[in-house]
Structure 1
């Protein structure tokens, strides 16, 4: 466990409404990158974050080789680019994994994809272009032949010493394959970030139980754990705790010694009576941010001991959207990712927006690929309680403050599949 002192900027942040950009900048600047790493087998590195640059210690390919099944030829100078038919005696057979004999001028060898180019050879013809003659002892070719055809030169893919994978890259299947192609069997990756979660509120009921009047099922518990797991975090889940000040303090005490970050949902609205805010203030420091955003607005950030703390809003859509916009970049930076900010793409809105809003909105949309260019359709219900909109949508469109527009306006689109990785 590698906890570091967290500076939440609580003494410098004004209590007036912050812009999204201001809040995100403060949060990102406070994220401390883990410096703890481990060397693990390739099979276990998927989605892990590289802790060092990876250099190739060989060239790939490490020898000139054939790009296809066919015939490798030592083409004489007077045979280069000759339009008339040419004949070559077959003197060798070179399967992949073996080394052929030197090839005399004007001779050919049967060769297979990936096999080394023998000494003296200078071009390869695909087998479909060659006709076997004289009891298959020769080939005839009826087109002009150039030097270097169908030969993969040594180092064509990778040169020895190249950085093939940079520090901070989140490893995907193709990255793992590339490491294996240069003979690397283990990679040094950052340790997983440990994130502690717990949930309070007498109105919350675990799914599978019976709801009483005034109670709701706790969906935030499942969305938060799933979001953290999707980001490759190690989740320490205390689940629902008693809705008391002492129980809240006890939960924070348990998590602060073993986690890099604690996240909760709900109980962060201005003036709301709850135990999370006073408990965090007692054990550490806390700042309540009111942000010009919808869905969302209240967000808490601080620390408990050496452990960072983020408090998300309680409405299910608000919790998910603010997690993706704020907690995700914070966590990605802590993990050591070189690219931790969300990426937006320009997309046309397939709806009008007549009423300017004082807060920047992130509305749930689905792309329509039957049109060109692709356009984004708006979900009809945009309330922060409408969790079904997150299932229907494949992304969020960002609508700036005090803005109106007509159908066809080009706006920032944040794809959910990228924000969830």
Structure 2
């Protein structure tokens, strides 16, 4: 993402804030060895190398017939059938000269064979097969063509996806070393918050952030402890934060970091530790804060639901993944034509809820009409975020940076 490069009226630019957070990432959690079935979403703690060649032997890339290419006349011809090799067979017997063998996908080539002819181009009789001429080596997977023994295949710091699990299994790894899940304590702030299902009195709200943030943290593979809602009281806030900081690797809160008289979080953090950062040049989400509570990192997200969700994905996510041991933590946005015009200059970088739509045959980034910081309906409609830099405008059709949710929610 590009730097803002403009006057942010004393607000910390987003990229600068992310860099500041990453500079204070604590040491990665301890390492444990786990079976493959338990490591989806976990972070690899040690480099993995291929223990042997992949494939381990020359094998057939399809169902057909294995032969020596030199035994086939230039115009094609009939060769006698000398046997059958299925996947799992050893194929120890050499191929007799001038013959071919029936072979199946993945089966090893017999000694002497160098080419496989697809079955669909052959004519088959009980004891012989007509085959066309083929270039030597056609339809053969050569030993070591994917990996040679000792080749690095996965680096420490990679998060394990289904494809990494499959690769590890194909190499014969039953267990690997991964970092333990980062422990995150989640708290909500506000006397007005109630749980879904409870009756609301005038002025009360359902606690949406509790569930959207639980979803974000769970999608990152983190171990979450929910400490519930803190009352708007300095002593209660201080005691709850201290307990969470003593029990967790990171503390995350939502609400209570604005400038209201009942917002006690920043003061409690100052009394228990240190406040490193407050107020970003981001919309929505300006009152985001970051500090330490007795040495434990604290992320203070805004209280408005859309602002809490977006700052969790844009600012908190890189910090949390890095603290989990990940190497690549800042996603790269796509650049696509804008399906909208934006003529409102703002001193904050704007993250607009958007999705991709085809307009006049062209894929474009289109906006939801409602972008309020409390509105989650637009986030549910969207499949990503469009970025408009501070003090910039945008005309329809111009290139705009776009962050898909699919790159943020994993």
TM range (shorter): over 0.9
Task: Tell whether the 8 Å contact from 1:288 to 1:298 is kept in structure 2 after alignment.
Answer: no
Residue 130 of structure 1 corresponds to 122
Q: Quick one: which of 244, 253, 266 aligns to 1:264?
A: 253
| Structure 1 Cα separation of the partners of residues 153 and 182 of structure 2 | 25
TM-score (normalised: structure 2): 0.93
Deviation at 1:171, TM superposition (A): 0.8
Deviation at 1:418, TM superposition (A): 1.3
Residue 51 of structure 2 corresponds to 57
Task: Tell whether the 8 Å contact from 1:48 to 1:171 is kept in structure 2 after alignment.
Answer: yes
Residue 411 of structure 1 corresponds to 400
1:121 aligns with 2:110: no
Task: Tell whether the 8 Å contact from 2:257 to 2:264 is kept in structure 1 after alignment.
Answer: no
Task: Tell whether the 8 Å contact from 1:395 to 1:413 is kept in structure 2 after alignment.
Answer: yes
Q: Deviations over 1:182-238 (max 9, x none)?
A: 110111111111110122321111111111111111111111111111111100111
TM-score (normalised: structure 1): 0.91
Residue 291 of structure 1 corresponds to 280
Secondary structure in 2 aligned to 1:374?
A: strand
Q: Name the Cα RMSD after superposition.
A: 1.8
Where structure 2 has 5 or more consecutive residues not aligned to the other structure, the ranges are 1-7
Q: Using a 3 Å threshold, how does the CA distance of structure 1 residues 310 and 47 change in structure 2: closer, same or farther?
A: same
| Structure 1 Cα separation of the partners of residues 392 and 146 of structure 2 | 49
| Structure 1 Cα separation of the partners of residues 260 and 190 of structure 2 | 16
Deviation at 1:250, TM superposition (A): 2.1
**Match runs of 1:243-254 below 5 Å:** 243-254=232-243
Q: Using a 3 Å threshold, how does the CA distance of structure 1 residues 281 and 99 change in structure 2: closer, same or farther?
A: same
| Structure 1 Cα separation of the partners of residues 191 and 76 of structure 2 | 89
| Structure 2 Cα separation of the partners of residues 146 and 201 of structure 1 | 74
Task: Tell whether the 8 Å contact from 2:29 to 2:181 is kept in structure 1 after alignment.
Answer: no
Task: Tell whether the 8 Å contact from 2:233 to 2:262 is kept in structure 1 after alignment.
Answer: no
1:71 aligns with 2:53: no
Task: Tell whether the 8 Å contact from 2:351 to 2:387 is kept in structure 1 after alignment.
Answer: yes
Secondary structure in 1 aligned to 2:397?
A: coil
Secondary structure in 1 aligned to 2:291?
A: strand
| Structure 2 Cα separation of the partners of residues 162 and 371 of structure 1 | 48
Residue 312 of structure 1 corresponds to 301
Deviation at 1:299, TM superposition (A): 1.7
Deviation at 1:15, TM superposition (A): 10
1:139 aligns with 2:129: yes
1:103 aligns with 2:92: no
